Amino acid sequence: NKEQHPICKGITSFKINEEEFNVNLPENSEILFVDDSNLPTGWYRKYINGDIFCFKLGHYKEIIKDSNFIKVLNNTINWFTKL
């Protein structure tokens, strides 16, 4: 369940003006975030003995002021470092 993933902890629905592009997700990816068109904007997957998280947001400097964007980055760092 994506709402229970540690990267999603404390994140509320949010909208950001962002440059979108389409991607082909790798096999076994779990989508954590989608845009208004239901296209994936954040996903993770297992790879060998590790984890990979991809996040399409962050092209415009205004995004760093968004509290949910900052929370996603912090949650990701905490998840990867097991904090």
Rg (alpha carbons) of the chain, rounded to whole number = 13
Q: Please state whether the predicted TM-score (pTM) of the whole model is above 0.85.
A: no
Q: Binning pLDDT at 50, 70 and 90, where does residue 1 land?
A: low
Per-position DSSP letters for 1-69, written without gaps between them: -GGGSGGGTT--------------PPTT-EEEEE-TTS-EEEEEEEETTEEEEEE---SSGGGGG-HHH
Asked if residues 81 and 6 have their Cβ atoms less than 8 Å apart, the reply is no
- Spatial CA neighbour of 42 closest among 72, 75, 1: 72
Q: Binning pLDDT at 50, 70 and 90, where does residue 21 land?
A: confident
Max CA pair span of the chain: 35
Per-residue pLDDT tens digits for 33-73: 988 888 888 999 999 988 999 998 887 888 888 899 999 99
